[in-house]
Amino acid sequence: MILVWMIGILLAGGFLCWLLARWNTQLSKWAALLSLAAGLLIVGSVAWQYGDTVRSQATWLIDYRINWIPAFGISFHVAIDGLSLVLLLLTFFLGLLAVLCSWNEIRERTGFYFFNLLWTLAGISGVFMAMDLFLFYFFWEVMLVPMYFLIAIWGDSNRRYAAYKFFIFTQAGGLLMLLAILALYFVNATQSGVYTFDYFDLLNVSLAPETARWIMAGFLIAFAVKLPVVPFHNWLPDAHSEAPTAGSLILAGLLLKTGAYGIIRFVLTLFPQAAADIAWWAMLFGAVGIVYGAMLAYAQTDLKRLIAYTSVSHMGFVLLGVFAFREIALQGVIMQLLTHGIGTGALFAMAGMLKERLHTRDIEKMGGLWSAMPAMGGMALLFTMASLGLPMLGSFIAEFLILLGTFPVQPALTSIATLGLIFAALYSLRMMQKVFLGPVKGASPPKDLTPRELIIMATLGISMVLLGLFPQPILDMVKMTVHQ
């Protein structure tokens, strides 16, 4: 029941924001902040409460189920294990920061903005806990529509185009997934005679290899679009660069994670054999994504596009690690999900702050900002280093674990992936240099971080360092899940 509260609090909060904004926009901001804080509190308490269980037993921590549409065997079934819990923590944490980020950025239609923001978050947290495939698809779509509005209404100059592209890409993938879900549903029904969308029941389906491959393809494409894997990554730079700051933060920090979560939770468990068959190809795409994303990132002049392409690169690691089928690589993947969420989120937040001050995203027009705003420069340095995988920071642990896990399986592909790290150093340092170092451009020096912004960046920075120094609690939490 507590899981339903998590989603419910966001949905209700969203409505509240919309209503309150009619009287007072300030109030609506606070409502959004408070509902997210309450959500974070709930997740935190759950994590605290089940902290020991998750380490020792391979069970589902909380399992809640009621019938929804029994005629079709659809139930409202939510459950979490260590993996879901970690990702939920990330969701509420980043959600809180996203609200803070947009505190001053959004000046018009505030209520509706926060409504969309909270509903997207509700959809995302639903995706992380749905254990009924129909429900999963449902939440998958619920997070999409408000996100579309976030981009289409509060985005930048080219927002329409970006929003269309984002929506149509993901929706096409989503519908293929729906087909695959239905196929699975009917295969199960013919085998067991029970019509159900329940994840646990569907786990028992035995599929002919040919069927399994097709059905898996449906799932995989949906997740690959979301992740994004290289040939399907086209929507990402547009959507990321046009979205408002909080939108980019959520897109990069959370939405991409749903793709990875989907692969780990559904593709690997429902179709173990078929997934193993395509492992080599998937890892190849992962490696290609790492290098390709990094190279394109190096070529960008638009700050947000640059960061977007680094996401493509980082998500390549995720794909690579998942399909290595090694415990250690999977642990790395989950670390990568967290650190990428935090690191890239921070970079996007920074880009948003810069844009607020300079009204441009073009790094050719920036330069020498360090002297004017040393605090932001320092923060930027921290996250750039995280992005290129400096030890002591979370991303280092993540990428190291992934490469460590993958190397025995595919030495050649892993070596290619390692090249990505070098490129990462190149693009990160180039960005750093262009923006913060070099000759000063522009007339008036912009102001440094405000306290609010400092809080955002500091929280992100501290968590990044903590993840780098003490990754063990997280690794413990997901150990049992990964073990299966």
From 183, 426, 454, 466, residue interacting with another protein (rule: CB under 8 A): 183
The reply on whether position 141 binds another protein by CB under 8 A is yes
Selected range binding another protein among 42-50, 148-156, 297-305, 400-408, rule: CB under 8 A: 148-156
Selected range binding another protein among 132-140, 294-302, 343-351, 427-435, rule: CB under 8 A: 132-140
Which positions ≥6 away from 86 have C-beta within 8 Å? 334, 338, 474, 477, 478
**Could you tell me if 395 and 338 are in contact, meaning their C-beta atoms sit under 8 angstroms apart?**
no
* Size of residue set near another protein by CB under 8 A: 33
Distance of CA 334 to the CA centre of its chain: 11
The reply on whether position 164 binds another protein by CB under 8 A is yes
The reply on whether position 138 binds another protein by CB under 8 A is yes
The reply on whether position 103 binds another protein by CB under 8 A is no
Nearest alpha-carbon partner for 263 in 249, 243, 279, 248: 279
The reply on whether position 19 binds another protein by CB under 8 A is no
Which of 182/372 has CB closer to another protein? 182
Which of 37/172 has CB closer to another protein? 172
Please report how close the Cβ of residue 108 comes to another protein at its closest, in angstroms: 9
From 153, 404, 426, 454, residue interacting with another protein (rule: CB under 8 A): 153
Which positions ≥6 away from 249 have C-beta within 8 Å? 94, 97, 98, 101, 345, 348, 349, 352
From 19, 34, 42, 182, residue interacting with another protein (rule: CB under 8 A): 182
Which positions ≥6 away from 358 have C-beta within 8 Å? 365, 366, 442, 446
Please report how close the Cβ of residue 243 comes to another protein at its closest, in angstroms: 15
The tokens for 154 are 């509060």
Nearest alpha-carbon partner for 393 in 446, 338, 335, 469: 469
Which of 11/88 has CB closer to another protein? 11
The reply on whether position 15 binds another protein by CB under 8 A is no
Please report how close the Cβ of residue 327 comes to another protein at its closest, in angstroms: 35
Which of 168/440 has CB closer to another protein? 168
Residues 185-204 contacting another protein, CB under 8 A: 185-186
The reply on whether position 160 binds another protein by CB under 8 A is yes
Residues 362-401 contacting another protein, CB under 8 A: none
Residues 38-67 contacting another protein, CB under 8 A: 67
From residue 258, alpha-carbon distances to 88, 113, 125, 341 in Å are: 11, 22, 9, 11
Q: Taking the CB of residue 234, how many other CB atoms lie within 10 A of it?
A: 13
From 15, 68, 103, 298, residue interacting with another protein (rule: CB under 8 A): 68
Q: What distance in Å separates the CA atoms of residue 396 and residue 374, rounded to the nearest whole number?
A: 25
Q: What distance in Å separates the CA atoms of residue 309 and residue 450, rounded to the nearest whole number?
A: 28
Q: What distance in Å separates the CA atoms of residue 414 and residue 246, rounded to the nearest whole number?
A: 34
Distance of CA 78 to the CA centre of its chain: 20
Question: H or E stretch including 65?
Answer: strand 62-69
Q: Which residues bind another protein (CB under 8 A)?
A: 67-72, 109, 134, 137-138, 141-142, 144-145, 148-149, 152-153, 160, 163-164, 167-168, 171-172, 175-176, 178-179, 182-183, 185-186
